[in-house]
Amino acid sequence: AQILVINGPNLNLLGTREPHIYGAETLADIAKHLAQLGADLGVDVVHFQHNCEGDLVTRIQQARGQADFIIINAGAYTHTSVAIRDALAGVAIPFVEVHISNVHAREAFRHHSYLSDKAVGVIVGLGTYGYEAALRFCVRELAKKSI
Ligand code: DQA
Domain of residue 7, CATH code = 3.40.50.9100
Catalytic residue among 22, 77, 114, 131: 22
Q: Quick check: is 114 catalytic?
A: no
Query: How far is ligand 1, taken at its centre, from the CA of residue 47, in Å?
Result: 17
**Catalytic residue list contains 22:** yes
Give the pLDDT score at 145. Answer: 87
20 is in an annotated binding site: no
Q: How far is the CA of 80 from the centre of ligand 1 (A)?
A: 12
In this predicted complex, what is the ipTM?
Answer: 0.99
Range of the domain at 86: 2-146
Q: Give the number of domains in the chain.
A: 1
Q: Stretch 68-97: mean pLDDT, rounded?
A: 98
Q: What is the pTM of this model?
A: 0.97
20-23 CB contacts, 8 Å cutoff, 24+ apart: 21/100, 21/101, 22/100, 22/101, 22/128, 23/100, 23/127, 23/128
Q: What is the pLDDT of residues 90-108, one digit of tens each?
A: 999 999 999 999 999 999 9
- Tens of pLDDT, residue by residue over 21-52, are 999 999 999 999 999 999 999 999 999 999 99
Q: Which of 47, 77, 99, 131 is catalytic?
A: 99
